[in-house]
A and B are shown apart, each in its own frame.
Chain A
Amino acid sequence: FPGLTDVSISEDIPVEGQITVPVGSHSPDEEFSTLDEPVRDTIMRDLKAVGKKFVHVMYPKKSSALLRDWDLWGPLVLCVSLALMLQGGSADSKDDGGPQFAEVFVIIWFGAVVITLNSKLLGGTISFFQSLCVLGYCVMPLTVAMLVCRLVLLAGSGTISFIIRLIVVLAMFGWSTLASTAFLADSQPPNRKALVVYPIFLFYFVISWMILTFTPQ
């Protein structure tokens, strides 16, 4: 470059400054490596994330935290506990009893996958695992209902206990459906919302039916 041979910087003017370009958002994870932290911190961080999502399900507001940082720990814990609590149903013969562990597991996960595929095929913008995450976490009210039902059944299994169980299961079913709809409905095209909400309704209805018809031995 012939024109630059004359350029020189005077030595009185100090040349200093930062070469690095400041990044807009500094997320705390990038400041330090998580490889060296104690195991307790790692586990507590994940547990806090799961707990925060449970709180979001209990008070369903339109927040994107549930969608953004999806995880499947919560759904797994809920599904396993629900399937375990549905065990021990009565059966005259092997064929007539309630659902087995594998059947509950398959219904919940396969049902959630099918509903997610359905909403994506209809043109939804939500990602696959985000939808699985929401549907799994919204099973929480029904798990609470199962717990209440088992406690009520310990006290007795007459008509009054059935009415209590019916009311509890109906209320939790409504809560689950409303919570999941609140999170999922926004990502659907507006003229197909009902087509996406109906399978969710059917899914939670089937789970509620399994909970309501549970009879202990």
Chain B
Amino acid sequence: IAHLAMYLFAEFDDAANLLAANPDATTVSIDETVEIPKNQHSRLQEPGREEDDELLGTDDSDKTELLAGQKKSAPFWTFDYYQTFFDVDTYQVLDRIKGSVFPVPGKNFVRLYIRSNPDLYGPFWICATLVFTIAVSGNLSNFFIHLGKPTYHYVPEFRKVSIAATTIYAYAWLVPLALWGFLMWRNSKVMNIVSYSFLEIVCVYGYSLFIYIPTAILWIIPQEVVRWVLMIFSLCLSGSVLVMTFWPAVRDDNRRVALVTVGTIVLLHALLSVGCLAYFFDAPEVDVPAPIIPAQNGTVITKSQ
């Protein structure tokens, strides 16, 4: 707190010096983030926060704040309002997908790729693809696992599509809602540097689910070890995208609250993948070495499944 007080006094000194040097200059306050021209804002910036520049892209956030203010001006009952959420080109969507699959350590997905242009195209269609991929792959893997058995009759298991759809869309939209509400609540108590809009959180969650699409296809392989290795790998990749996005948002908060928040994010993500694997994909049969049964005439017969 003493440090903070010293910083504040230093700023007042700077402002007083500036004012004394140029009496006609208007005083600026930190609240006016939109009207402050860029060079004055960077002068008031506290030193020692360079690491935030990488994560925040502070130079861009000024421009993007201005742009964001100009963009979404249509009232919410018009079609044009929703068109602003689909203002992405093919290469932008591909870039965002690439950023979610290859997370660069230290780079924030939202600041690097979203840049105040959150889109709903990616989250919606990635979730739709994931729903059908999980349902189809689960069906295929069950088919291959039970293929040789004489009592097996193939069923399409179409009910599982609706269950998959409910689960994945609920995860991709309700968890961001809860997280956004929680971050807003903490923001009112603790002044955080980073705060995300609801759509940006939905965007991060939607794009982070992309890695599960190839994972679900590879889960057709009927080996338990392979499936668990794949799951842990994809969980690490998408979890790291989420952690690197949300850690700067809760870092300034109480240590315990920050750790619990990030831990809950990772835990829910893990629950989703474990639940999908357990429910949609039957366990592959394991060939156990059979007990050796001595037959009556002295020869040894082994029974295998």
Which residue numbers of A lie inside 8 Å of B, CB to CB?
A: 89-92, 95-99, 103, 118, 120-123, 191-195, 198-199, 202, 205-206, 209-210, 213-215
Question: Count of chain B residues with Cβ under 8 Å from any Cβ of A?
Answer: 24
Q: Among B43-51, B156-164, B233-241, which stretch is in contact with chain A?
A: B156-164
Contact call A98/B158, Cβ cutoff below 8 A:
yes
Contact call B83/A95, Cβ cutoff below 8 A:
no
Chosen A-B contacts, 30 in total, with CB atoms closer than 8 Å, are A92-B155, A95-B157, A96-B156, A96-B159, A97-B155, A98-B156, A98-B158, A99-B158, A103-B158, A120-B79, A121-B82, A121-B83, A123-B86, A191-B90, A192-B89, A192-B90, A193-B90, A195-B88, A195-B93, A195-B121, A199-B125, A202-B128, A202-B129, A206-B132, A213-B154, A214-B156, A215-B153, A215-B154, A215-B155, A215-B156
Task: Chain A residues near B156: list those with CB within 8 A.
Answer: 89, 96-99, 210, 213-215
Q: Does B77 contact A (CB under 8 A)?
A: no
Report Cα–Cα, A205/B131, bound state, in Å.
13
Known A121-B82, A195-B90; contact A202-B155, beta-carbon cutoff 8 A: no
Report Cα–Cα, A191/B125, bound state, in Å.
18
Task: Chain B residues near A99: list those with CB within 8 A.
Answer: 156, 158
Q: Does B139 contact A (CB under 8 A)?
A: yes
Task: Chain A residues near B157: list those with CB within 8 A.
Answer: 95-96
Task: Chain A residues near B82: list those with CB within 8 A.
Answer: 121
Q: Does B76 contact A (CB under 8 A)?
A: no
Task: Chain A residues near B136: list those with CB within 8 A.
Answer: 209
Which residue numbers of B lie inside 8 Å of A, CB to CB?
A: 79, 82-83, 85-86, 88-91, 93, 121, 125, 128-129, 132, 136, 139, 153-159
**Closest residue of chain A to B85, judged by CB?**
A121
Report Cα–Cα, A213/B121, bound state, in Å.
29
Contact call B91/A191, Cβ cutoff below 8 A:
yes
Which of A96, A103, A191 counts the most B-chain CB atoms under 10 A from its CB?
A96
B135 to chain A, nearest CB (A): 9
**Closest residue of chain B to A206, judged by CB?**
B132
**Closest residue of chain B to A214, judged by CB?**
B156
**Closest residue of chain A to B84, judged by CB?**
A121
Known A195-B121, A213-B156, A215-B155; contact A121-B86, beta-carbon cutoff 8 A: yes
Task: Chain A residues near B91: list those with CB within 8 A.
Answer: 191
B183 to chain A, nearest CB (A): 28
Task: Chain A residues near B89: list those with CB within 8 A.
Answer: 191-192, 195
- Ranked 7 nearest A-B pairs via Cβ: A121-B86, A96-B155, A213-B156, A191-B89, A98-B156, A194-B90, A99-B158
**Closest residue of chain A to B120, judged by CB?**
A121
Report Cα–Cα, A105/B6, bound state, in Å.
69
A31 to chain B, nearest CB (A): 38
A196 to chain B, nearest CB (A): 9
**Closest residue of chain B to A194, judged by CB?**
B90
Contact of A118 among B79, B121, B129 (CB under 8 A): B121
Contact call B125/A92, Cβ cutoff below 8 A:
no
